[in-house]
Amino acid sequence: MIFRILSFEEEISGQSTLAVRKDLHRLWLDWLKLNPLEETPAGRFEQLKNLFYKDLSFSGDWQAYYHSQNLLIGEVLHRRSGNATSLALLLHYFARKLDIECQILRFPAQTMLAFQLAEQTVYFDAFAGEPKTVAELEVIHRGFKGDLARLNERDLTPLASAKVTERWLGELKRMCLREDNFEMALSVSQVLLRLKPGDPHEMRDRGFIYQQLDCTNVAINDFEYFIEQCPDDPLSKILKVQIHSMDSQPAILH
């Protein structure tokens, strides 16, 4: 899973991730030389936590949670600090190395993991480095969705690998937009549209990015596609007004 994401990271950033892949493998081999594996899943789970949070000193970055440096795997590996998604991906990688059954959940509020330890399921917050009860997950969920929201069984089911990749890409796109890095945001958007061709919401987002890059004509095309596909969406009315305003502006050639 993480290597597929690294492939996209390389495509989007234009920088090779070969060194990142080698570093991950080296860190695992160096640790394995000094630590014989425990026989039970519970024992290996304790080893995993020690490996990740003590030996390798990974931690969550509270101060710059929404910065892209806390999501790009190469940056996170170098700084040993990340957000919930990047840390969950790395923890998932080492869990598989330790032969621990581990899944990334659908949980919408933030990326969470589930470890299957014999007959016990442990829900785990990679960002905080601690397990969570279902009641604690309910509180986090309500904080994200609203006080009337309730956690359902589907929220705690595994997320398919392709959907994990889309979650990572979606987060990266939002971070790039927050940082006004519209060139990288466009690269991410193009990848998402390759994975979800014709998705109207992705087309709308790409239109916004093109608008920020002063590519008016292509922005209008994307907005018109969204309006056609989602005529009842409240944003469609707003976009119609924007299109009219953009149409009246002089064209900028690139």
Between 254 and 89, the more confident residue is 89
Going from N- to C-terminal start, the domains of the chain cover 2-156, 161-247
Q: What is the pLDDT of residue 149?
A: 83
The residue count for the chain: 254
3-state secondary structure the chain: CHHHHHHHHHHHHCCCCHHHHHHHHHHHHHHHHHCCCCCCHHHHHHHHHHHHHHHCCCEECCCCCCCHHHCCHHHHHHHCEECHHHHHHHHHHHHHHCCCEEEEECCCCCCCEEEEECCEEEEEECCCCEEECHHHHHHHHHHHHCCCCCCCHHHHCECCHHHHHHHHHHHHHHHHHHCCCHHHHHHHHHHHHHHCCCCHHHHHHHHHHHHHCCCHHHHHHHHHHHHHHCCCCHHHHHHHHHHHHHHCCCCCCC
Report whether 189 contacts 206 (CB < 8 A): yes
Q: What is the pLDDT of residue 161?
A: 96
With 70 as the cut, is the pLDDT of residue 164 above it?
yes
249 pLDDT band, cuts 50/70/90, is: low
Q: What's the topology of domain 161-247?
A: 1.25.40
- Per-residue pLDDT tens digits for 74-112: 999 999 999 999 999 999 999 999 999 999 999 999 999
Q: What is the pLDDT of residue 21?
A: 97
Per-residue tokens: 178: 């927050």
- Per-residue pLDDT tens digits for 53-72: 999 999 999 999 999 999 99
253 pLDDT band, cuts 50/70/90, is: very low
Give the rounded percent of residues in the chain with a pLDDT score beyond 70.
97
**How far is the C-alpha of 43 from the C-alpha of 37, rounded, in Å?**
8
CATH number of 2-156: 3.10.620
Q: What is the pLDDT of residue 225?
A: 97
**How far is the C-alpha of 46 from the C-alpha of 35, rounded, in Å?**
12
Between 244 and 97, the more confident residue is 97
With 60 as the cut, is the pLDDT of residue 252 above it?
no
19 pLDDT band, cuts 50/70/90, is: very high
Per-residue tokens: 242: 């924007």
Q: What is the pLDDT of residue 247?
A: 75
pTM (2 d.p.) = 0.93
**How far is the C-alpha of 88 from the C-alpha of 173, rounded, in Å?**
18
